[in-house]
Chains A and B, each alone.
Chain A
Amino acid sequence: MDFGFKLSPSSAVNLDTVDHARYDRLVQLVPDALTCIGCGSCSATCTAAPWSGMSVRKVLLGLQRGRDDEVDSMLSKCMLCGKCTMVCPRGINTRHLILTLCRLSRKGEVVR
């Protein structure tokens, strides 16, 4: 279809085609991840945020929106310091979430 202008493929999310296998596997392993209310406490307190924009909130959203590269780049500076776990109002064990996510391939398999 011609909209008369170009939609940049990087800025629009097509939920029909997004592959969220990694997210599905993650919530299977860490069901608490489903309870995130996106309050942003984790992002604001994050020790690694100044270096990679790390935010557990954005990681969870990114996984559901097919933004895998952004997710991986955010995770790459996480120091597992545990501040996000401390401030999460829903009591999500974010360290467990991050470590579990780091063990998953893009296809959502646990690497051995």
Chain B
Amino acid sequence: MRERFANGFDPFVIPFLIGMAFVLGYCIVAMFRIIIQLPKADRKRFLLTLITPKYIWMNIRDIFLNCLIHVKLWKRNKVLGYMHSSIAFGWFMIILLGHLEVILFLPNRIHLFYYPIFFNYFVAETESTIQGSLLMFLMDFFLLIILSGIVLAIIKRFASRIVGMRRTTRLSLMDQVGLYSLWAIFPLRLLAESFTAHISGGSFLTIPANWVFRQFLGNDLHALPTWWAYSIALCVFMCVLPFTRYMHIPAEMLLIPMRNAGIRIRHPRKGFALLEVYSCPACGVCIDACPMSVRKVNCKDTTVYLNRMLRRGNERRIEEISDKCLLCGKCTAVCQVGVQGPELRIAQRERRAYALSPSYSAINVRPLASAVVHGAGGESGGVLYFAGCMTHLTPSIRRATASLLDKAGVRWQMMDPENGLCCGRPLMMAGRTEQARELIAKNAEIIRASGCDTLLLSCPICYKVFLEEYKLEGVRVVHHSVFFEELIAGGQLQVRRDDGLKLVFHDPCELGRGCGIYEEPRRAVAAAGELVEAGKHHAEAICCGGSLGSLTLSYDQRRPMTRNALENLTVANPDQIVTACPLCLATFVRQADRPVRDIAEVLDAHC
């Protein structure tokens, strides 16, 4: 290999350099801004992980697997996985191999930024070596991979159903500019390299292309303009990148280490929240996933549009989207980047100003506390069962739970036989965290007074907040589905299995995606009958539509969501629908065409 030009420069690299300088500068400034915006403790924690070997390894691995290979997307949709990883990994490899070429053949030019990118323009092949042709082959190979990805991307844009997406995002103008410049980069590179392949050498793609072009193009005059075009496409892409969805590429590389460090959203618009917004690739997977999208008008209320509105600062729409969401968490479950849609929305809700704020500090819980002390007969230990607000409206759950506890011989008493306080989770969902803390303190007082060692919940909404926000040392917080499964496994509950009874389990959002409990209730259900699965289940289960998470959805708007969730549950034609949440139960029971039961009812009927 030898250099074609002594000065190693041509003006066509200038657009590329401008783009590169701009995007690097922008990203570095943005990165520092985000890090500075973190609360001090979070910042310290994050910076510490950057120098901890365990975290360094974790970060490198996650960035490689997620940003380049897109493993999560592969698991979800092979076509989309291939499309994304072909472009991301292929591009990465081309850049890497470009650098290798420079190091190998012209190590004196490695300090020039643009050399690895435009290598084939600046060199002429003098002799063919094994390393040389291997590198050339790999370059062509990865270029081909990328081009196949681009072809898929073009197909996806115009016919998203072919790649398995019902709906995809509508692009903003900037996104379109970014998209088309990205599509242009690689065909232009192929053309440019093909035109100069008889000088610089090439491989299976560029050499034949060069031969074909030379058959009808008499001269080399079009080579330089094509290199210009390639450089300009790169420049356009990099210059618009910060204002498009492609910002997710650099943002995700910061998001992954921050998430590994355990950073959470503390401010609705700054720090980690801002980073999540920029990490959204606007792929639109959350649109099909969102339970609200059964109504076409609600497609624009999905997380991808929340992120877009947050970037645009459209306050009216931010409020609307934030308040409408059911907080079911499915968008996060399917998101390739893991943007926390519900948490982002709760953060927006927290920011709101109120003329009137409730206060519970004046509530005297001593009578409630002394009732549970009295109920325990002065003995400590035992199970304290908190039915919660919603279970009071579903007496079947309360009754079945009590009956099962008695059958298993558990020493137990009820925390709220007549009335109690709310657990605080609905307030937290509404963004009123301060007020929720007051309720949490009050309930904790009652629980501590009872001297129990287990707090049993039949409502996943309560369960999540008791588990995460209450500081109850020495008290095990357990959901009834898990507790009964243990009693069955331990032999304290003998369940007769009805082999002819087909049961489907509906994962309540707060129990499944919220607390990661999927298998225990299924084992319990399988003890009573034949367990069948819904169309979408586990982390991809569909919210019943009754969620307290949504502040503004009306009953009429929720009804089609419930119907859709029921259709999903009945694909295997079960005899009964089993759930483990009073709210899901009450929501389903009125629209279902077959019995809907709480898991406790099903077990109690078979004990």
Contacts and interface: CB of A to CB of B under 8 A. Distances in A.
Given A47-B421, A80-B422, A81-B426, A102 B555 contact: no
B591 interface: no
Given A51-B363, A103-B353, A111-B354, A81 B554 contact: no
Contacts of A38: none
Interface stretch (A2-10, A11-19, A82-90): A82-90
B357 interface: yes
Contacts of A48: 422
Given A45-B393, A80-B426, A83-B393, A99 B551 contact: yes
B358 A104 contact: no
A91 B353 contact: no
A91 B587 CA distance: 12
A95 B427 contact: no
Given A91-B556, A93-B554, A104 B353 contact: no
A95 B425 CA distance: 14
Interface string B378-392: 000000000001101
Contacts of B427: 79-80
A72 B355 CA distance: 10
B56 to A, nearest CB: 44
Contact of A83 (B358, B360, B389, B555): B389
A76 B390 CA distance: 21
B430 interface: yes
A80 B424 CA distance: 9
A50 B368 CA distance: 12
Given A51-B363, A79-B426, A93-B554, A87 B393 contact: yes
Contacts of B355: 102-106, 111
B356 A102 contact: yes
A99 B389 contact: no
B390 A79 contact: no
B430 A80 contact: yes
Contact of A32 (B357, B554, B586): B554
Contact of A75 (B358, B426, B439, B548): B358
B419 interface: yes
A56 B205 CA distance: 73
Interface residues of B, number: 34
A101 B356 CA distance: 8
Given A47-B422, A79-B439, A95 B358 contact: no
A47 B430 CA distance: 17
A50 B426 CA distance: 19
B424 to A, nearest CB: 8
B357 A102 contact: yes
Nearest to B352: A103
Contacts of B422: 47-48, 79-81
A32 to B, nearest CB: 7
B448 to A, nearest CB: 20
B359 interface: yes
B390 A86 contact: yes
B552 interface: yes
B360 A77 contact: yes
23 contacts: A32-B554, A47-B389, A47-B419, A51-B360, A76-B358, A77-B363, A79-B358, A79-B360, A79-B424, A79-B426, A80-B426, A81-B390, A81-B422, A81-B426, A83-B390, A83-B392, A86-B390, A93-B552, A93-B553, A99-B551, A102-B356, A102-B358, A111-B354
Given A51-B360, A79-B422, 11 more contacts: A48-B422, A75-B358, A76-B358, A77-B360, A80-B426, A86-B390, A86-B393, A93-B551, A95-B426, A96-B551, A96-B552
Instruction: Rank and list the top 5 A-B pairs by shortest CB-CB distance, nearest first.
Output: A91-B555, A79-B422, A81-B389, A81-B422, A102-B356
Interface of B: 323, 352-360, 363, 389-390, 392-393, 419-422, 424, 426-427, 430, 432, 439, 548, 551-556, 583, 586
